[in-house]
Structure 1
Amino acid sequence: MKFRVSIFLFSVFFNLCRVQSKNPNQRIFEDNVSRTVSISIENEDLLGKKHWVGSGFLISKDGFLLTCAHVIGDYHKKFVVRLGGSGKRYLGKVITSDLKKDIVLVVLETDDTFDYFELNPTKRAERGQSYYSISSPLGLEESFTTGVVADPERIGVDSILSEISFLQLNQSILPGSSGAAIFDVSGNLLGMAQFQLKNSEYNQQGVGFAILSKYLSEFVSSVPLTKFSNDEIQRGIVEVPTITDFLVQNLNLPTREGVLISYLVEKSPAEVSGLKRYDLIVEINGKKISNNDEMNSFFRKVARSERLQIKVIRNRSENVFYINP
């Protein structure tokens, strides 16, 4: 009996030693890798060798994720997203973006459910705190990085957005790592890897910076999490961001109020309806439309099954078109 008890105690002790001796960073990697992704924008082919040009991370169980807008650039088609851990590939598409802050919301075309990082606008890193990241530097997917926070809110880094603060890291952000989650030992999101500053006079490692979690939260909270892109929601209408004096003069527009159509998605409901490029939308379903925000708000509230009456100004004359579901 004593012999059996001794064997049992030895077994318990041995297993405890194994648990305690396990590399803690390995545990952190395993706990978070399934919440991270790699991104390829070459084509829509899920198979074959891919060049992973950027990283990202999931923010909802139904496949919404964030990355940097510069990772996607002006690529307008669907692209391939590789899930960390399993390596499973999905097609992704851009839902909306904030080019000024370099943030883009992407959705995966699937009914699968995912692990994800929770956005917490009040979560603030501390100077000297350890951080972790899983990304695809130079196309090397699932690369694990750790470092310390050099400054939790560095201001004045971006000459254009001088009032915006960034999370300064003690490691550089290599190409392919942009868009990766920066998180703490407990898996709490601290920010999103964005860029590095490097002195061209010295061949040395640059200083890395990340978009703070609070800005990511503000961006996501400002848009509804819908699996339809702006183009799909707007029935194929792509608008000009701002109607300038130059456009008013050269297109002979009677007013700056309204939404100018930049182009129409091929074979979309809007194109089929008869709308054309440079039509000025001034009314939808009897509601006056003065700017892009009003039109975007209208489209997000209206049912996609509803028929739309669009009043536009073309060649200084009013015309009415109907967009069917």
Structure 2
Amino acid sequence: MTVGKRYITQVGLFLSAVLLLVVQQAVAQLPDWSKLFEDNKAAVVSITTEGTEVVRGGWSPFEGFSFGGNSPFGDNDPFSFFFGDGAPQKEQERIVRGAGSGFIIDKKGYVITNAHVIGDADKITVHLADRRELKAELIGMDEKTDVAVLKIAGDKLPVVKIADVSKLKVGQWVMAVGSPFGLDYTATQGIISSLGRNLPNDNFTPFIQTDAAVNPGNSGGPLFNTDGEVIGINSQIYTSTGSYAGVSFAIPIDLAMHIVEQIREDGKVSRGWLGVQIQEVTATLAETFDLDKPMGALVASIVEDSPADKSDLKVGDVILKFNGQEVISSSQLPILVSRVKGNEEVKVEILRNGKRETIKVMIEALDDEGRKTAASKSADSNILGVAVEETKND
């Protein structure tokens, strides 16, 4: 072997060793979810539901005969000329079944899932990892945040650990566990893609966006951090096909636990109502208001006889802080307002005529008619035919 060939061989071996080292280091930085999954699997549950719905079906002159209500003449039924294809309509009941996921939050048997998983179910069954099947009682649900609370009776129930969501950062690893398409105890991984994401027609939830694969049946299942703590409830996906397309959304666990606490204590959820129409403070508006950067919520209009109307708040004010919390974007304000119970006075910091002021507002309870603080939204929220869908497995 010549010196040149020997040199090339040595360089090749050196580069191979360096490449192997780089690959090993990269692999070492990837999370190993195996122990975390085994430690938490028992606290994750599958949920099946059963209910009835009324449908209207066509009447047939052959109803009750051995033909099963169908014409013996098939598609060439001469009676269709007289009776039509579906006249008259009659109501019928049919069984509707659904499935989803959930997790146990305390040893008393309380289980969290999505409200859309439960719906109007008459029968709810919780399936545990040890193959126990337990009848569940619906304690309550909140459709606005899509959170439902169930209760099961069982011995030695495992529970999940709850995370501090204030420590979440974009780029952190996460693991989703659930029953996509009925495939129970499926784990998928991803990262946090965004925090505080607002979706069309949802003013109350600052979603955690992730790229962990979530599909129908995952709804209500937990989203874990690398410490084995639940950071959110898998709820929706952004898709044009009905299946995972790279964008998933989870309800932050602190919001969910706030809802759970109210349901357990009061049997319902109480939200605050301010009574303003707001819009985003753009870069252009920020320059007009002499703000260092775009922030806050601009009051565009005030509802008559609302808490805002009864306070010193005025159209044109920029709300910078609400109840001690900084308002970074207008989408935050409805969330902050909703977390205040009715008949509670809060301080609101505003920018008016270039000066910062603090006023007090007596927040009232949001009523069943849906009076609420709402951010202005584009009429065309379904961009390019892509829609946000719940991930219930019907």
**Distance (Å, rounded) in 2 between the aligned partners of 1:168 and 1:183:** 13
1:62 lines up with 2:108 in the alignment = yes
SS of alignment partner, residue 263 of structure 2: coil
1:212 lines up with 2:255 in the alignment = no
**1:52–1:70 Cα change, 3 Å:** closer
**Distance (Å, rounded) in 1 between the aligned partners of 2:201 and 2:176:** 27
Q: Structure 1 residue aligned with 2:227, among 155, 167, 186?
A: 186
* Structure 1 position 178, deviation (Å): 0.4
The answer for the alignment partner of 2:218 in structure 1 is: 177
* Structure 1 position 186, deviation (Å): 1.4
1:152 lines up with 2:195 in the alignment = yes
Supply the RMSD in Å over aligned alpha carbons.
Answer: 3.0
- Matched letter for residue 88 of structure 1: R
Report Cα offsets for 1:128-147 as digits up to 9, x if no partner: 11111220000000111111
* Structure 1 position 54, deviation (Å): 0.2
Q: TM-score, normalised by structure 2?
A: 0.46
Contact kept in structure 1, 2:214 and 2:244, CA below 8 Å: no
Contact kept in structure 1, 2:176 and 2:224, CA below 8 Å: yes
Contact kept in structure 2, 1:148 and 1:169, CA below 8 Å: yes
- Matched letter for residue 100 of structure 1: K
**Distance (Å, rounded) in 1 between the aligned partners of 2:46 and 2:204:** 30
The answer for the alignment partner of 1:222 in structure 2 is: 262
**Distance (Å, rounded) in 2 between the aligned partners of 1:162 and 1:223:** 20
1:31 lines up with 2:39 in the alignment = yes
- Mean CA deviation greater in 87-96 or 159-168: 159-168
Report Cα offsets for 1:13-41 as digits up to 9, x if no partner: xxxxxxx9xx9322111011011000111
- Matched letter for residue 136 of structure 1: S
1:127 lines up with 2:173 in the alignment = no
**1:33–1:203 Cα change, 3 Å:** closer
SS of alignment partner, residue 37 of structure 2: helix
1:94 lines up with 2:138 in the alignment = yes
**1:121–1:223 Cα change, 3 Å:** farther
The answer for the alignment partner of 1:140 in structure 2 is: 183
**1:182–1:42 Cα change, 3 Å:** same
Runs of 4+ in 1 over 3 A off after TM superposition: 118-124
Identity of aligned residues (%): 28
Contact kept in structure 2, 1:120 and 1:217, CA below 8 Å: no
**1:225–1:186 Cα change, 3 Å:** farther
- Matched letter for residue 99 of structure 1: E
Q: Give ranges in structure 2 of 5+ residues lacking alignment.
A: 1-27, 52-96, 269-364, 368-394
* Structure 1 position 152, deviation (Å): 2.5
Contact kept in structure 1, 2:180 and 2:216, CA below 8 Å: yes
SS of alignment partner, residue 195 of structure 1: strand
Contact kept in structure 1, 2:195 and 2:209, CA below 8 Å: yes
**1:123–1:92 Cα change, 3 Å:** farther
Contact kept in structure 2, 1:199 and 1:206, CA below 8 Å: no
- Matched letter for residue 38 of structure 1: S
1:78 lines up with 2:86 in the alignment = no
**Distance (Å, rounded) in 2 between the aligned partners of 1:192 and 1:27:** 21
The answer for the alignment partner of 1:104 in structure 2 is: 148
* Structure 1 position 120, deviation (Å): 4.8
Instruction: Work out the number of aligned pairs and report it.
Output: 197
SS of alignment partner, residue 186 of structure 1: coil
Larger radius of gyration: 2
- Matched letter for residue 62 of structure 1: K
Contact kept in structure 2, 1:52 and 1:139, CA below 8 Å: no
* Structure 1 position 122, deviation (Å): 4.7
**Distance (Å, rounded) in 1 between the aligned partners of 2:131 and 2:265:** 25
* Structure 1 position 42, deviation (Å): 3.3
Q: TM-score, normalised by structure 1?
A: 0.55
